Amino acid sequence: MNNGFVRVAAAIPELRVADCAFNVARITDLVRKGEDEKVQVICFPELSITAYTCADLFFQQQLLIDAEKSLHELQMLTFSTTATIIVGMPIRAQSQLFNAAVVLQGGHILGVVPKTHLPNNNEFYEKRWFSSAADSTTQSILLAGEEVPFGTNLLFSDGKFSFGIELCEDLWVPIPPSSQHALHGADVIFNLSATNELIGKHLYLRQLIEQQSARCIAGYVYSSAGAGESTTDVVYAGNGLIAENGKLIATSERFSFDPQLIISDIDIERLQADRLRNTNYLNDKSSQTYRTVKLEDAHFTRFDLKRTFDKHPFVPPITTREESCHEIFSIQVGGLAKRWKHTHAETVVIGISGGLDSTLALLVAVKTADKLGYDRKRIIGITMPGFGTTDRTYNNAVNLMKSLGITMLEISIKDACLQHFSDIAHDPNQHDVTYENTQARERTQILMDIANKHNGLVIGTGDLSELALGWATYNGDHMSMYAVNSGVPKTLVRYLVSFAAHQLDSTSETILRDVLDTPVSPELLPADENGDIAQKTEDIVGPYELHDFYLYYFIRFGFSPAKILFLAKNAFAGIYTDEIIEKWLKIFLRRFFAQQFKRSCIPDGPKVGSINLSPRGDWRMPSDAIVFTLEN
């Protein structure tokens, strides 16, 4: 494997009905192409050596002899190739004929998997020609002069990943064989198929494959017969589909007359990580005994991936973004509404800085008040200008609170901080961590005391990305009474604010647009000579889009730093150099481990996605753990 990836292919060869020699020649062409592409397993369609639509010709001795002779040619081919090949053909055994998949590698026939569920409807009459695997009692058959394993209980493994096989109709039944294969350890399922086309059937097929790959937490490779089949009564489009745990990652061109090799890379480590976390994913304890057939490792340890990875894994795709943003707001509002009602608080109190995070928290509070039928004046927004506050953020904070109709307070922290500097004998011209954290803690003290005064709850504004990096002052902005943004990463905050902007009046929308364009900053250091923000967070801790990418794969799948680096280089190629990506990954790891003590005592807050850092839920980590490194 290459960094946990296995390269697979769904092959759609040019075929002629009942012409085994021609078919094997075309299969050979795609095998050689796959070899050039470093494919490790290539799956061909159902009955691909003979073609699927031979009908009563399957009873002809000559066709069966030709099929076995052609299989032997493929067997000889595999002496000079490294890929594992899966082809379909009719197999004679125990005076029965089976529709079967044959697995070849390294000059050997490794095993034969017969089809279990045979269609017998208006379009297909397989029961006329073939027996079901359920009717077979043999564990091995003689094929091309070799005694080879035979049955549906075969798994093929090289020690790093395993795969199982089912054929066409097997997928469409209530409990597909692939479900058992996965529970017995198959990471990838290969399906040799011959699915005809009907109106609406293709969409249903895609959904079926996505759902089965998700249920099995597996890769799924589907190769179906193409245009070379007989069109006497039905038409075949050549569906090649590759899915990974609920998501299609590669598809063929339908109705093409050209041969196709659909290639992608399945992340076996990702699948295994999901299975490890799913305590309901148990090894099957049924009486069925599985047999493992050993594969030789293809030894393709390095290749450029055939797939790309989303730079922003937390951000919903554009097709569902509006729906997802609405749902996220609903979760945040639902959490705050319950807490507000449960505590019988008269008000909620929020520090408004004019930045993205406090803006999102304010929008959640406003939506919550509206949902509960509360007067928006019960929301107390406080802007607290300090030594680094710029006119831009100050004006945006003030104007936004006015436009949303909440109670607004302005309390400068400058005098209080200067008094504190005097009390602790700190030079206010020394702009160090004490200088910065004094301001953050002063603001938190004001928020807490105002909440006490007005029977209120302090709403936290910090987001998931800041929690991951520890980018918060301990017992300063680190603390609140309910943290509505704690499950929202920085890359997603921007989309949520933009989504909300469309739903507000024109004045509020204009303000939000400027907030979106403002650099991310805690504004704890004085502005530059032009009065602009001098302290920009991403200049200090690095690009949030990189850190969110690292966070997603580190927490969601438990990937090693080396694997995360590999994925990041793929996702951000041409945007950041490899050196920059590695630099910020090292900083992410160092900060993530060093700042766990802050996450160990964070306030309650709603989880909105697949990742959360609450010590009471998703993430429980000792504060004294040694940091992982790229060299580990």
Distance CA 220, CA 597 (A): 41
Distance CA 545, CA 541 (A): 11
Whether 169 is catalytic is: no
Distance CA 396, CA 511 (A): 6
H-state helical runs in 122-195: 126-129, 177-183
Contact 33, 247 (CB under 8 A): no
To 5 degrees, how large is the angle CA 517–CA 520–CA 525? 125
Amino acid at 289: T
Distance CA 308, CA 567 (A): 9
Distance CA 258, CA 266 (A): 25
Q: Is the dihedral of CA 418, 422, 424, 426 positive or negative?
A: positive
Strand order in the sheet with 96-105: 108-114, 96-105, 84-93, 41-43, 5-12, 260-267
What phi and psi, each to the nearest 5 degrees, are found at residue 26?
Answer: -75, -35
Q: Cβ atoms within 10 A of the Cβ of 76, count?
A: 12
Q: Which of 38, 43, 115, 229 is catalytic?
A: 115
Residues in the chain: 632
What phi and psi, each to the nearest 5 degrees, are found at residue 432?
Answer: -105, -165
Q: Which of 14, 46, 68, 169 is catalytic?
A: 46
What phi and psi, each to the nearest 5 degrees, are found at residue 121?
Answer: -120, -160
Q: Cβ atoms within 10 A of the Cβ of 506, count?
A: 8
What 3-state class would DSSP assign to 276?
Answer: helix
What are the residues whose beta carbons fall under 8 Å from the beta carbon of 233, sequence distance 6 or more? Answer: 123
Nearest by Cα to 288 from 162, 139, 404: 139
Reading the block at residue 358, the tokens are 């406090």
Q: Is the dihedral of CA 417, 418, 420, 426 positive or negative?
A: positive
Nearest by Cα to 144 from 210, 64, 79: 64
**Which single residue is written with the structure tokens 């198929």?**
193
Distance CA 162, CA 229 (A): 31
Task: Kindly list the distances between the CA atom of residue 385 and the CA atoms of 32, 68, 359, 417, in Å, as whole numbers in the listed order.
Answer: 69, 83, 16, 11
Distance CA 605, CA 626 (A): 28
Reading the block at residue 197, the tokens are 């086309």
Nearest by Cα to 226 from 194, 203, 248: 194
Contact 556, 519 (CB under 8 A): no
Whether 46 is catalytic is: yes
Q: Which of 20, 43, 54, 168 is catalytic?
A: 168
Amino acid at 628: F
Whether 538 is catalytic is: no
Annotated catalytic sites, by residue? 46, 115, 168
